[in-house]
Amino acid sequence: MPLSKVLEGGRATLLSISGGRQLRGRLAALGLLPGTPLEVIQNSGRGPFIVGVRGSRIVIGRGMASRIEVE
């Protein structure tokens, strides 16, 4: 399922990123790699999408969140 469907407070593990090399590289630089545990801090349906990764908070766009596959 896409990361954008995970509710606030939910936890998931990153499986893959369906996007081009530039998107995958940008997310990898932020620490979003396959196998990484994620926590959705804010997903209100509008506004910023905030994810907790390795003790840090990362704000990503909804388009990016929809291209990140998690379980």
- With 0-12 / 13-18 / 19 or more C-beta atoms within 10 angstroms meaning exposed / middle / buried, residue 12 is buried
Q: Total structural domains in the chain? A: 1
Q: What is the reported pTM?
A: 0.89
What is the rounded distance in angstroms from the CA atom of residue 19 to the CA atom of residue 35?
Answer: 17
The predicted pLDDT at position 32 comes to 94
CATH number at residue 41: 2.30.30.90
- pLDDT band of 52, cuts 50, 70, 90: very high
Residue 27 is encoded by which pair of tokens?
């997310």
Mean pLDDT, residues 60-69: 93
pLDDT value of position 31: 92
Describe the strand order of the beta sheet including 49-53 as a list of residue ranges. 56-60, 49-53, 37-42, 11-17, 68-70
pLDDT in tens, 10-33: 999 999 999 899 999 999 999 999
Domain with 9, as residue range(s), is 3-70
Provide φ and ψ at 56, rounded to 5°: -115, 160
